[in-house]
Amino acid sequence: MKIPDLKVGAGVDIVFENEINKRNAHYMRALVYDYKGGKIVVSQTSPPLNPHFINRRVAITFLASTDKRAARFGFTAQLVGLATDYTISANTTVEALIFKQLEKLQRMDFRLYFRVKPPSYSNINLFFKGERVNLIDISLGGAKFSYPSAHLFRHGDTVSFELIIDYAAFEVNARVRNLSRPHESSANNALQYVGVEFEVENKQLTAVLGKAIIAIERQMLSEGKIV
């Protein structure tokens, strides 16, 4: 397999090495400012990394099309510096993170908890009490969705869902991990935003959902929505 180049301006995903493929992993997005000589400079992540994370090892990955299919590539790296005034143009300075590359660029096989936003035509549908929810993003580890605030979810609760992918239906239990309550003054106070973690060990579900997620990533790549 041909290994694609990581180019300046590309978007990358960053995850701490000890969190790879864990349900509580923190995946951060960044933009490549410079990459040469084993040093990669990227934009500050959100949430931002501070000096406390110096010397932490991470995986830096990106999605690319090769052999007519989408695949993830990357390498492990170590955070070695933070710049508060990195110059990106004659009159512009920004915060930046500086990493030292620890291994060569290669195919990265993990994709377990990368989240994708299903398009309107997606074949992935999540139902709660027989009603389809507005799915914001999904991974093999969980999902985020909006739902009318008439039914208030509670942090830590285990909730039952039905996940339908094409013609395959799965009963899925999930634990509520994140909640964003509507504010009375908000123009959209009828909705709440809920993040759940799937609590299921189903090899068939993993295979079917994983295939659907890869298909979405491939489509987004072909449409230029992933760089």
What's residue 42's pLDDT?
Answer: 97
Q: Which residues pair with 70 in a beta bridge?
A: 65
User: What are the structural domains of the chain?
Assistant: 11-107 (2.30.110.10), 124-222 (2.40.10.220)
User: Quick check: 104 and 130 in contact, CB under 8 A?
Assistant: no
Is residue 195 within 8 Å of 177, Cβ to Cβ? yes
- Long-range CB contacts (< 8 A, 24+ apart) of 209-213? 209/124, 209/138, 209/140, 209/163, 209/165, 210/111, 210/140, 212/122, 212/123, 212/124, 212/165, 212/166, 213/111, 213/114, 213/116, 213/138, 213/139, 213/140
- Say whether pLDDT at 227 is over 50: no
- Which pLDDT does position 27 carry in this prediction? 78
23-37, 170-184, 208-222: range with lowest mean pLDDT: 208-222
Question: Which of 104, 167, 163, 168 is closest to 135 using CA atoms?
Answer: 163
Of the two residues 106 and 227, the one the predictor is more confident about is: 106
pTM for the whole structure = 0.56
Residue range 58-72, pLDDT digits in tens:
999 887 776 666 677
Residue 82 near residue 41 (C-beta atoms within 8 A): no
Burial of residue 94, with CB atoms counted within 10 A of its CB: 0-12 exposed, 13-18 middle, 19 or more buried: middle
Q: What is the pLDDT of residue 119?
A: 84
> What is the distance in angstroms between the CA of the first residue and the CA of the last residue of the chain?
20
Q: Length of the chain in residues, anyone?
A: 227
Q: Is the distance from CB of 38 to CB of 100 less than 8 angstroms?
A: yes
Mean pLDDT across the stretch 122-141?
90
The confidence band for 159, taking pLDDT boundaries of 50, 70 and 90, is: very high
Look up residue 206 and give its DSSP letter: H
C-alpha Rg value of the chain to the nearest Å: 19
Helix (H, G, I), strand (E, B) or coil at 32: strand
Geometric angle at alpha carbon 89, from 41 and 39, rounded to 5°:
15
Which of these ranges, 33-42, 152-161, 176-185, has the smallest mean pLDDT? 176-185
